[in-house]
Amino acid sequence: MFSVPELRAKVMDNYVSGITMLVELAAGRTGRTPGDFEVRNWAGAVVGVILSAAPAAAADQSVDFVALLERAFTHLEEGLPL
């Protein structure tokens, strides 16, 4: 996706920051700790769903990104069945 190593590293740092932010928010709302495996796993899945939808929307400007995100989150809620 990114051929420049420095850019790839910065993008990965941003993903980790996003996961950390979601972990802290979810832990606070659920009364769990930020170190809770399930909280971190959930946050990683949320970021992963967004990451999977973004390239499809970027590649085709006719794609409704919000509708695609809603579809992606519904799929996540269903347990990601194939």
Domains of the chain, each with CATH number or no CATH: 5-77 (1.10.357.10)
Proportion of the chain above pLDDT 70, given as a percent = 98
* Inter-residue contact 33 to 39 (CB < 8 Å): yes
* Inter-residue contact 46 to 22 (CB < 8 Å): yes
Is residue 59 predicted with pLDDT exceeding 90? no
pLDDT of residue 2: 65
The pLDDT mean for the chain works out to: 91
Give pTM, 2 decimals. 0.79
Is residue 1 predicted with pLDDT exceeding 80? no
Residue 59 CA to residue 43 CA, distance in Å, equals 25
pLDDT of residue 66: 93
Give the pLDDT mean for 52-56: 87
